[in-house]
């Protein structure tokens, strides 16, 4: 694929950043909206967790599909379709009159947003030389920090009117983005053509759906039956993908230890990110503050993430990914554990949140994507970036489902949320040990 001119590169990057910002802002405002949604629809902690969980599930399904399609059909078409689906889902959520319709809208949103970040990351790999990708991916990761910084402010302002405006705000942004994406983004497909891997897609959907419902019913006898279904689907997925001519998730990628470790750490990042969504509800239940004021509780997280992402992106090209990832896992685990075991106070949420923010900056920003660009060939960049997003979403899925179930099993309230944070922190700290298996300084990405 021919690289666009430098001036065009700047416009392309700006378009990609706006798309990621729109999707990330939606994640950032959902946490503050949870208390309002509980009251609006009269649901408990387990049910309201599905606002997040169903989003993760369909985002997880959409990510490998959209990423693979962008390798086959071109970045521009798939990116535009993703943004359009996200806008349609936002409209359904904003106009919902029942909790079931709201969840349908969240599913549509998520399926579209699944391709936004991996396609953006792959496009950076297409248009920029290897020596500039680390900094660009760092800036892309910083968009999440910016979104989470703006999210509490936007939520606090719009919740005073109606929670529905949190989703209506996506519509004008999406309309502008569709036009600019169609004009600027490269359209040529990078990868193979032929029959799409529908069998792999179906097995992935069955496995993830069974896992999601099973984990959300952790205190039910149905748990084990659903986990058996999920395991059988995933075993079948591995078998099918080994034989597929153009698999959705390529098994050969996992021959690389670096890719296996990236998948593990991505799941850890997803655990931390999912727990973050429930901090505002923890503040409402544990501190007795209003839903509007709870939006500001996550500011330490997002400020730390916004500062950390671009700084770490610049450091990548000099020191490599291993020290950054190990430190990030430690900070993420320590912050989550602090919120889980210390009394629920403002100071606890501020300190723990700041640690989580710096940890997420080292995982959700550039480092893990930087490793993949070095390990995966150019024709599979989007699919590989989609793989990373899949494992982040798996971590989110596990944590989102467990938090709702644990909070309910512990009698509801702040105690259940704290127990879930403690479990999350312990798991991430165990993962940190595996960080020493990363290369000290991987070679630059394939040009």
- Rounded distance, CA 110 to CA 118, Å? 14
Per-residue pLDDT band at 144 (split at 50, 70, 90): low
Quote helix, strand, coil % in the chain, to nearest 5.
85, 0, 15
Lowest mean pLDDT among 78-82, 257-261, 441-445: 441-445
Higher pLDDT, 309 or 285: 285
Mean pLDDT of 381-409: 72
Which pLDDT value is given to residue 232? 95
pLDDT, residue 103, reads: 94
Please say if the pLDDT value at position 167 is more than 50. yes
Poorest-pLDDT segment among 141-155, 162-176, 310-324: 141-155
Percent of the chain at pLDDT > 70 equals 86
Predicted confidence (pLDDT) per residue in 9-21, tens digit: 778 888 888 888 8
Can you give the pLDDT at residue 20? 87
Give the model's pLDDT for residue 5.
44
The mean of the pLDDT values for the chain is 80
The band of 177, judged by pLDDT with boundaries at 50, 70 and 90, is very high
Q: Which residues contact 11 (CB under 8 A, 6 or more apart)?
A: 180, 184
Token pair for 113: 């947003």
Q: pLDDT value at position 190?
A: 53
In whole angstroms, what is the distance from residue 221 CA to residue 130 CA? 51
Report the pLDDT value the prediction gives residue 365, as an integer from 0 to 100. 65
Is the Cα torsion angle 87, 89, 94, 95 positive or negative in sign? positive
Residue closest to 30 by CA, chosen among 13, 9, 44, 48: 48
Tell me what the mean pLDDT of segment 274-302 comes to.
Answer: 78
User: What pLDDT shows up at residue 410?
Assistant: 66
Token reading at 29: 């405002």
For 123-159, b where at least 16 C-beta lie within 10 A, e where not — what string? bbbbbbeeeebbbbbbbbbbbbbbbbbbbbebbbebb
- Locus of tokens 């999601």: 212
Note the pLDDT of residue 335. 92
Confidence of residue 233 (pLDDT cuts 50, 70, 90): very high
């Amino acid at each position: 694929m021919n690289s666009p001119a430098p001036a065009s590169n700047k416009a392309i990057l700006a378009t990609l950043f706006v798309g990621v910002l729109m999707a990330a802002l939606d994640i950032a405002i959902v946490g503050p909206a949870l208390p309002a949604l509980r009251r609006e629809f009269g649901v408990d902690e387990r049910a309201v967790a599905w606002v997040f969980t169903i989003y993760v599930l369909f985002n997880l399904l959409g990510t490998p599909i959209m990423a693979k399609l962008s390798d086959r059909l071109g970045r521009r078409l798939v990116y535009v379709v993703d943004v359009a689906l996200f806008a349609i889902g936002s409209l359904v959520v904003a106009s919902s009159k029942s909790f079931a319709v709201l969840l349908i809208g969240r599913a549509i949103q998520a399926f579209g947003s699944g391709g936004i970040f991996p396609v953006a990351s792959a496009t950076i790999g297409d248009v920029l030389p290897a020596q500039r990708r680390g900094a660009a991916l760092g800036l892309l990761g910083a968009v999440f920090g910016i979104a989470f910084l703006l999210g509490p402010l936007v939520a606090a302002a719009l919740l005073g009117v109606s929670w529905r405006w949190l989703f209506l705000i996506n519509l004008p942004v999406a309309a502008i983005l569709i036009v600019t994406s169609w004009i600027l983004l490269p359209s040529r497909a990078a990868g193979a053509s032929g029959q799409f891997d529908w069998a792999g897609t179906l097995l992935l959907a069955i496995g993830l759906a069974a896992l999601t419902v099973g984990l959300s019913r952790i205190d039910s006898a149905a748990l084990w039956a659903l986990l058996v279904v999920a395991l059988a689907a995933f075993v079948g997925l591995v078998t099918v993908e080994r034989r597929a001519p153009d698999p959705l998730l390529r098994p050969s990628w996992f021959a690389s230890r670096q890719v296996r470790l990236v998948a593990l750490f991505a799941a850890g990042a997803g655990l931390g990110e999912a727990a973050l969504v429930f901090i505002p509800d923890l503040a409402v239940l544990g501190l007795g503050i209003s839903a509007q004021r709870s939006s500001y509780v996550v500011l330490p997280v997002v400020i730390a993430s916004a500062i950390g992402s671009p700084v770490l992106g610049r450091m990548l090209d000099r020191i490599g990914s291993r020290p950054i990832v190990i430190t990030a896992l430690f900070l993420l685990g320590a912050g989550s554990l602090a919120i889980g075991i210390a009394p629920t106070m403002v100071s606890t949420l501020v300190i723990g949140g700041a640690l989580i923010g710096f940890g997420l900056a080292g995982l959700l920003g550039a480092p893990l994507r930087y490793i993949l660009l070095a390990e995966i060939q150019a024709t599979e960049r989007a699919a590989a970036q989609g793989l990373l997003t899949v494992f982040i979403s798996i971590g989110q899925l596990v944590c989102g489902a467990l938090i709702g179930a644990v909070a309910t099993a512990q009698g509801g309230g702040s105690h259940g949320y704290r127990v879930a944070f403690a479990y999350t922190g312990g798991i991430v700290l165990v993962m940190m040990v595996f960080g020493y298996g990363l290369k000290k300084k991987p070679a630059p990405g394939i040009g």
